[in-house]
């Protein structure tokens, strides 16, 4: 009896040639035409596109502390339904993931949920306060083997602390993921600063507050020759700085969220806090620059910044509402909408930006692997013809704060294999 073994026939890996896929004991063991099933269960994949499962370098699972908004288990369900095999859980929990104890707890609960691999991100500074380095080495050496460190939610704004963090993580091949937001330039900020923020009377979040930090940090990373990752890049100016930094040889990578690729600030005119997010939704010109940068590789990856919040945190006036929106279950569809019509964008490019590249940045060696013989069977099947309406109450997340409610996405995740386990079937969690 073979466990976690299947033959999936007729799908098109990366949207290219039709190819059958044999999975044996959780490993891809054969690819080709007209494979013999033997005694394996056969799954019909014709019409579907097969891709390596997705990897999210930026997820808020809220546990420990805000289990009313999301838990590691519910977030894992949302992740697998969205086609992910691995998520990196941000450190801004309560307590903060700034010690080996907390990151090991998150890692263990993730293992117990068993639907995706949960990689905890460690805080850069104690309590995310930006004052003293957290125990980065202890977190790296823990069972959770932390490689990504971030104060996300807060910017590491002190340049000296940022420099030290970049230097310190070189000892264990870590990377600092910066939430680029100058705190002084964004005091009380509520939305993108521009013509609309002035008219609406909402305090502006200027692009320069992001760009100035990125410019500083790429220079620091160059100076100390360390790895820097920029979270949720949101402006055309940031793209230009990152492009320049890469030309200069800086070891910098960057992410963009699905919502910054698709949505624009004019939605804020509704004063509906479902559109309140940090960094804020920007202008149309920014979204176009971000799409182009994602296609040409200046921006390396898509990351969701999945940020669940309970209903009451959004059912209020704008200023009082929480920042953030859900992302895991809609990421693939939203990226498909945003990137439609961009030259040179293909399923293979998408697979790089949403699977192999984020896995490499996070050093998740068993994820983001190609669909090839000998690789772990983390595979997502996508129906490129099957549309799906986003209905907040039907999401697996404990929260419903999706800005896409009522929107019809052009593609659907139908089946997901995790280590060869067929855990999502027909878009539903198995059992």
Partner 1 sequence: MKHLISVQDLSHSDTLHILDTARELDRVTNGGSKLLPTLRGRTVVNLFYEDSTRTRLSFERAAKRLSADVVTFSAKGSSVSKGESLKDTALTLKAMGADMIIVRHPSPGAAHRLAHAGWLESSVINAGDGKHEHPTQALADALTIRAHLRPDAVDFDGLTIGIVGDVLHSRVARSNIFLLSGLGAKVVVIGPPTLLPVKIESWPCTVSYSLDATLPELDAIMMLRVQQERMNGTFFPSELEYSRVFGLNRARASSLPDHAIVMHPGPMNRGVEITAEVADGSRSVITDQVSNGLKVRMAAMYLLIGGEVNVA
Structure tokens at 143: 């069972």
Distance set, CA 276 to CA 3, 186, 371 (Å): 45, 15, 38
Residue 69: both structure tokens together:
């908004």
188 belongs to the binding site for partner 1 (CB under 8 A): no
Site string for partner 1, 206-245 (x = CB under 8 A): x---------------------------------------
**307 close to 257: Cβ distance less than 8 angstroms:** no
Distances (CA, A) of 216 to 151, 180, 221, 223, 228: 17, 10, 9, 11, 11
Looking at beta carbons only, is 244 or 271 nearer to partner 1?
A: 271
Structure tokens at 189: 């900020």
Can residue 194 be called a binding residue for partner 1 (CB under 8 A)? Answer: yes
Q: By CB under 8 A, is residue 199 in contact with partner 1?
A: yes
Among 25, 46, 94, 320, binds partner 1 (CB under 8 A): 320
Window of 15-23, 151-159, 316-324, 397-405 that interacts with partner 1 by CB under 8 A: 316-324
Residue 127 found at the interface with partner 1 (CB under 8 A): no
The CA distance from 259 to 245, in Å, is 25
Nearer to partner 1, 129 or 311 (CB): 311
- Torsion from C-alpha of 269, 258, 177, 224, nearest 10 degrees: -100
- Measured from the CB of residue 271, what is the shortest distance to partner 1 in angstroms? 3
Catalytic residues: 305
Q: How far is the CB of 315 from partner 1 (least distance, A)?
A: 6
The binder of partner 1 chosen from 29, 53, 80, 197 (CB under 8 A): 197
CA 82, chain centre distance (Å) = 11
Distance CA 182, CA 97 (A): 23
Give the C-alpha separation, 82 to 92, whole Å: 23
Q: In residues, how long is the chain?
A: 431
Which residue has tokens 């949505």? 263
With CB under 8 A, what is the number of residues at the site for partner 1?
23
Nearer to partner 1, 276 or 353 (CB): 276
Under the binding rule (CB under 8 A), the answer on residue 193 touching partner 1 is yes
The residues in 265-294 that bind partner 1, with binding defined as CB under 8 A, are 270-272
Distance, in Å, from the CA atom of 335 to the CA atom of 344, rounded to the nearest integer, reads 14
Nearer to partner 1 (CB atom), residue 34 or residue 317: 317
In angstroms, what is the minimal distance from the CB of 160 to partner 1? Answer: 25
Q: Kindly state whether residue 171 participates in binding partner 1, applying the rule CB under 8 A.
A: no
Measured CA to CA, the distance from residue 50 to residue 383 in angstroms comes to: 9
Structure tokens at 428: 């539903």
The DSSP symbol for 352 reads: I
Q: Helix or strand or coil: residue 384?
A: coil
Region of 28-36, 200-208, 241-249, 400-408 interacting with partner 1 (CB under 8 A): 200-208
* Alpha-carbon span 363 to 376, nearest angstrom: 15
| Least CB distance to partner 1 at residue 323 (A) | 15
- Measured from the CB of residue 325, what is the shortest distance to partner 1 in angstroms? 18
Q: Which is nearer to partner 1, 36 or 184 (CB)?
A: 184
Using the rule CB under 8 A, is 183 a contact of partner 1? no
Instruction: For the beta carbon of residue 15, count every other beta carbon within 10 angstroms.
Output: 17
Query: Given the complex with partner 1, which of 158 and 315 has the nearer CB atom?
Result: 315
**Which of 132, 316, 365, 391 is close enough to bind partner 1 by CB under 8 A?**
316
Q: Report, in Å, the least distance between residue 187 CB and partner 1.
A: 10
Q: Which residues bind partner 1 (CB under 8 A)?
A: 190, 193-195, 197-204, 206, 270-272, 312, 315-320
């Amino acid at each position: 009896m073979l466990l976690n073994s299947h033959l999936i026939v007729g799908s098109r890996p990366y949207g290219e040639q039709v190819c059958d896929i044999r999975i044996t004991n959780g490993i891809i063991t054969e690819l080709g035409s007209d494979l013999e099933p033997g005694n394996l269960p056969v799954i019909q994949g014709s019409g579907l596109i097969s891709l390596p499962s997705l990897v999210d370098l930026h997820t808020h699972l809220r546990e420990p502390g805000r289990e009313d908004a999301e838990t590691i288990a519910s977030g894992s369900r949302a992740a697998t339904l969205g086609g992910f095999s691995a998520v990196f859980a941000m450190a801004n929990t309560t307590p903060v993931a700034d010690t080996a104890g907390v990151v090991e707890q998150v890692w263990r609960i993730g293992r117990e949920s068993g639907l995706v691999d949960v990689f905890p991100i460690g805080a850069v500074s104690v309590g995310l306060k930006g004052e003293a380095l957290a125990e980065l080495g202890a977190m790296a050496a823990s069972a959770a083997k932390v490689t990504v460190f971030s104060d996300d939610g807060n910017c590491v704004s002190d340049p000296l602390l940022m420099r030290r963090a970049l230097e310190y993580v070189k000892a264990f091949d870590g990377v600092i993921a910066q939430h680029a937001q100058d705190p002084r330039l964004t005091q009380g900020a509520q939305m993108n600063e521009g013509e609309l923020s002035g008219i609406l009377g909402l305090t502006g979040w200027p692009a320069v507050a992001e760009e100035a930090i990125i410019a500083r940090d790429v220079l620091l990373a160059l100076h100390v020759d360390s790895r820097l990752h920029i979270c949720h890049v949101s402006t055309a100016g940031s793209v230009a700085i990152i492009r320049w930094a890469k030309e200069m040889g800086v070891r910098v990578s960057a992410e963009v969220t699905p919502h910054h690729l698709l949505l624009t600030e004019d939605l804020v005119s509704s004063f509906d806090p479902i559109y309140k997010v940090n960094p804020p939704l920007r202008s149309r010109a920014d979204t176009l620059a971000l799409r182009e940068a994602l296609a040409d590789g200046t921006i390396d990856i898509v990351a969701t910044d999945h940020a669940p919040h309970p209903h009451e945190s959004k059912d209020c006036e704008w200023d009082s509402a929480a920042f953030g929106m859900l992302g895991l279950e809609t990421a693939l569809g939203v990226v498909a909408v945003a990137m439609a019509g961009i030259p040179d964008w293909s399923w293979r490019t998408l697979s790089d930006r949403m699977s192999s590249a984020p896995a490499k940045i996070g050093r998740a060696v068993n994820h983001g692997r190609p669909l090839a013989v000998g690789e772990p069977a983390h595979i997502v099947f996508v129906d490129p013809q099957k549309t799906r309406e986003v209905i907040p109450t039907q999401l697996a997340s404990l929260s419903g704060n999706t800005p896409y409610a009522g929107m019809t996405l052009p593609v659907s995740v139908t089946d997901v294999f995790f280590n060869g386990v067929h855990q999502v079937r027909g878009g539903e969690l198995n059992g």
